[in-house]
Amino acid sequence: MPGLIRGVARTAVVAGTATAVSNRVSRRQQGRWAQQAAAEQPAPAPAAPPPAPAADASDNTIARLKELGELKAQGVLTDAEFEEQKRRILGS
């Protein structure tokens, strides 16, 4: 019986040691792979400069004012309606 217990104890120690070593190796490999993945990722591209909204906005404003003037000339808008819409477009 003592020989059987000694054999079981030895097997448990060997199995526990093997599990501990295996886990340590796995964690070390995962750490290395994470470092490699981080090193291989390209740096993010610099952000593109925003478009010039002032030029686009002024072109749009001018086009809207011209359209408004045409509507007034056609008689679609009254003078009061024209002035109100013009104020809205100009933001004042």
Q: How far is CA 13 from CA 1, 9, 23, 85, in A?
A: 19, 6, 15, 88
Question: What is the tens place of the pLDDT at every residue in 20-58?
Answer: 888 888 889 999 988 888 887 766 666 666 655 555 667
Cβ neighbourhood burial of 89 (10 Å; 0-12, 13-18, 19+): middle
Q: Which amino acid is at 71?
A: L
Question: What is the tens place of the pLDDT at every residue in 51-92?
Answer: 555 556 677 888 888 998 898 999 888 999 999 988 888 885
Calculate ∠ Cα 20-25-30, nearest 5°. 125
